Amino acid sequence: MGQSMRDIKRRIRSFEKTRQITKAMKMVAASKLRKAQEQAESSRPYAEKMHDVIVNVARGTKGYNHPMLVSRPVRKTGYLVITSDRGLCGGYNSNLLRKLQATLHERHQSQDEYVIFVIGRKGRDFLKRRGLPVIGEVTGLSDSPKFADVHEIAKQAVQFYADEKFDELFILYNEFINPIIQRPVEKRLLPLTGEELRDSEGTAAGATAVYEYEPSPEAVLDVLLPRYAEALIYSALLEGKASEFAAKMNAMSNATDNATELIEKLTLEFNRARQAAITQEIAEIVGGASAQG
Which are the catalytic amino acids?
89
CA 169, CA 226: separation in Å to the nearest integer?
13
Instruction: Write the single-letter amino acid at 190.
Output: L
CA 203, CA 205: separation in Å to the nearest integer?
6
Instruction: Write the single-letter amino acid at 138.
Output: V
Cis previous bond, 217, omega within 30: no
Q: Assign 12 to helix, strand or coil.
A: helix
CA 72, CA 264: separation in Å to the nearest integer?
62
CA 243, CA 182: separation in Å to the nearest integer?
6
Task: Tell me the CA end-to-end span of the chain in Å, nearest whole number.
Answer: 29
